[in-house]
Structure formats: C-alpha cells, structure tokens
Amino acid sequence: MTARKITPGRRTGKPKFRDRQPPQPRNNLCQSPAKPWLAFKSYRRTLMADAMHEVAIMEEAVRTAVATAQASGASRILELRLRVGSLSGVVPEALQFAFDVVCRGTLAEGAALVVDTVPATGWCPDCQAEYACAHYFSECPHCQNFNGQLRQGRELEISSVEIS
Ligand SMILES: [Zn+2]
C-alpha cells in the first residue's frame, strides 16, 4: 500500500473564505499600518452582515428613546441603558455597532450605550428552586427534569435614558 498525503485544501476543494490566510507583507517596508487595515475591513464587513438583526432592534430602541426624550423637551440623549437577557439571541458587540450606526443624525448621536446582561434563570416547580440556564431547555440541576419555566433571560428592553 502506498502512503497518501491528504491536505485540507485537497480534500475539501477550494478553501472557504474564512480558511484563507491573511495577506502576507511582500517586503519589510509595508509591514504594519496598511495590512491590519485590510483585516479590520473584512472583520467589519462580516460583523455588519451578522448585525442586521441587532440593527433592527436598535432602530426600534433609539426611536423609542428619541420619542421619550423629545416628549421631555430634551436636546440630547447622553446615555441609553438596555437590559438584554442572555437568551435573547442578541450579540452585545453587534448592538454597540448597530447603536453607532443608528444614532447618526438623531438626538442620540454621541450617546453612550450601556448593556446590562440579565442571566437566564429557570424555576423548577418540583424542587421549588431557581437555577441558572445555559439554554432554553436546561434541566434542573437538582432533579434533572426539563419541566422548569424560564423566569428571566429573554429581556430586550430600555431600562433608562439619560437626557440633557
Ligand atoms: Zn428540580
């Protein structure tokens, strides 16, 4: 039997975009400043595609905050504070990115975004006890039952708007 060498590239065909190596500098002159910018650009593009869900959520939050601020006669929003459950399906980093985009040209431009994460907690009716949930269907750590109720962890709400 002859030995066969299998490389990931050969076996899976064309390498996927994420498997590609970042471009290497061709000489010593252009090592740092230009190349990391390329890496940043592609990172940002991926984040933007993934963040559409968060952009829609943030549009709604900023619209509500601006309406509240205007009703109070405010000229600016200084800080927007959100409560985000750990099982809400929202990525906090993407929220920050979405916030920066959505705030442009509104009362909230330049405002700080504070995201308070709410840990998911289940309630087991058999044990009459609360427990931490990593998923929607987390078992009770005491009796291993799955019939607990999720008490918190799905929040997606504004907790405060600081205005001036
Ligand atoms: Zn239990």
Tell me, in angstroms, the distance from the centre of ligand 1 to residue 137's CA: 13
Per residue in 75-85, pLDDT (tens digit) is 999 999 999 99
The yes-or-no verdict on residue 8 having pLDDT over 80 is: no
Per residue in 99-141, pLDDT (tens digit) is 999 999 999 999 999 999 999 999 999 999 999 999 888 899 9
Topology given in CATH for the domain delimited by 52-119+152-163: hypothetical protein PF0899 fold (3.30.2320)
Tell me, in angstroms, the distance from the centre of ligand 1 to residue 87's CA: 20
Q: Is the dihedral of CA 87, 90, 93, 99 positive or negative?
A: negative
pLDDT category of residue 15 using cuts at 50, 70 and 90: very low
The pLDDT > 90 percentage for the chain reads: 60
Tell me, in angstroms, the distance from the centre of ligand 1 to residue 154's CA: 21
- The residue ranges of every structural domain in the chain are 52-119+152-163
Spatial distance between the Cα atoms of 72 and 26, rounded to a whole number of angstroms: 58
Spatial distance between the Cα atoms of 15 and 7, rounded to a whole number of angstroms: 11
